[in-house]
Amino acid sequence: MAKVLVADDSIAVRKVAERLLTEAGLGVVLAANGGEALDYLAKDKPDLIISDVIMPDKSGYEICAFVREQKGIANTPVLLISGIVNDEVTKQAESCHADGVLKKPFQGTSLKDRVLELLAKRQKAAESAEKSPGTVPEPKSQIQSARVRDEESEGYQRALARLKLLEEELPVERDRATRGAQRVAQLEGELARAQEIESLLAKEREQTAQLKLQLAETDRVAARIQELEAALQKERHNSGQQATTLAELQKGASRAQELEAALHAERQAAAFLVEKMTAMEQIITRVGALEQSLAAEQQKSRDLTLRLSEAERVSQTVSESNSLIQAERERNALLTKRVSEAEQAAEQTNRQFEEIATKLGEIAKLAAQLGNGKRRS
């Protein structure tokens, strides 16, 4: 079984190459980089080497140059593989004496066909080098009719032995050819199956690529959904705060309306009290006027008293003095009654003034609270 060394830093490429070559009936040795490939070549000799052009440590060109410099493996076929095959890659492959460059990813059975072709050329070259020119036996009739020398007789005997050996090997070769034909038919069936599998694999890869695109799109949509959820959560939080602020403002507005209604009522009450105070001031003024009238009447009473004392001396005026005194008494009683009423009205007015002052203080406090609430909003 021919042995093939595959060196590539991509595990996917190594696995595909291993599968294709194993299906072709070849032994496969895998190397993950150029260093592993050189270590293997130092202790073993593969029948063919497949190497990636670009690897982390040693390139495929360096591996090919190393093989050509080693006496024991200098004739080993080296097939380079590369994702890009252009004039530069081809030129470098020729400079290191590679046996060819194959583009990857591999299309159908291109790798298997190329490897089998190189192995067949190597086998043919080896057989040509090992094959030595033999002596062609002469026909039997000519041998019997000719007179040969002893040396020619010996050569004839050797030729007969060689012919007998070839006749014995012929059935073996025919059997081997038959098995080879059967193997070829089997390989052709496997090749068709491999082509079918590769077609299915290509479809699977295309579907996988589409799924990857859909997955990437799904990831982007999921990330966008997370962003939108975060924004929605933030908006809900802001809406909650705004709703709380709005409720507080509505409460403040309701409270302001209540305070305004109370203030209006208090203003009306204050206006009514002012009217009452005006009326009381008029009453007080009237009381003052009555007091002045009372003082004048009292002065008159004193004057009348003086006159009465004079009237006592004068008997003629006694009756008149008595009548005047009685009238003055009645008048004084009336004035006293009016003064008492004025004092009661003044006391009531003072109480109303105190109530008005208390309500005005409450109104001032409510107005101050309303002003502070509006400033906070």
* Span 329-358, pLDDT tens digits: 888 888 888 888 888 888 888 888 888 888
Q: Which residue has the higher pLDDT, 202 or 25?
A: 25
Quote the CA–CA distance of 241 and 235 in Å, as a whole number: 10
Looking at the whole model, is its pTM more than 0.75? Answer: no
Are 132 and 141 within 8 A, CB to CB?
A: no
Quote the CA–CA distance of 20 and 23 in Å, as a whole number: 5
Quote the CA–CA distance of 104 and 116 in Å, as a whole number: 17
Q: Is the pLDDT of residue 297 over 50?
A: yes
Q: Which residues contact 96 (CB under 8 A, 6 or more apart)?
A: 61, 62, 64, 65, 68
Lowest mean pLDDT among 60-64, 69-73, 147-151, 306-310: 147-151
For the segment 208-256, what is each residue's pLDDT rounded down to a tens digit? 777 677 777 767 777 777 887 788 788 788 878 877 877 777 786 677 6
DSSP bridge partners of 7: 31, 51
What pLDDT shows up at residue 159? 60
Quote the CA–CA distance of 22 and 333 in Å, as a whole number: 147
Q: What average pLDDT is seen over the chain?
A: 79
Average pLDDT over residues 117-140: 68
Quote the CA–CA distance of 23 and 187 in Å, as a whole number: 8
Domain boundaries for CATH 3.40.50.2300 within the chain: 1-129
Q: Which residues contact 34 (CB under 8 A, 6 or more apart)?
A: 7, 51, 55, 56, 57, 58, 59, 60, 62, 63
Quote the CA–CA distance of 131 and 190 in Å, as a whole number: 33
Domain boundaries for CATH 1.10.287 within the chain: 252-376
Residue 38: pLDDT band (50, 70, 90) is: very high
Quote the CA–CA distance of 243 and 247 in Å, as a whole number: 6
What pLDDT shows up at residue 360? 86
Quote the CA–CA distance of 274 and 355 in Å, as a whole number: 12
Q: Which residue has the higher pLDDT, 175 or 127?
A: 127
DSSP bridge partners of 6: 30, 50
Under CATH, which number does the domain 252-376 receive?
1.10.287
What pLDDT shows up at residue 233? 81
What pLDDT shows up at residue 67? 95
Under CATH, which number does the domain 1-129 receive?
3.40.50.2300
Residue located via tokens 């390139």: 59
For the segment 67-106, what is each residue's pLDDT rounded down to a tens digit? 999 988 999 999 999 999 999 999 999 999 999 999 988 8
Average pLDDT over residues 177-192: 63
Q: Is the pLDDT of residue 304 over 60?
A: yes
What pLDDT shows up at residue 52? 95
Quote the CA–CA distance of 47 and 44 in Å, as a whole number: 10
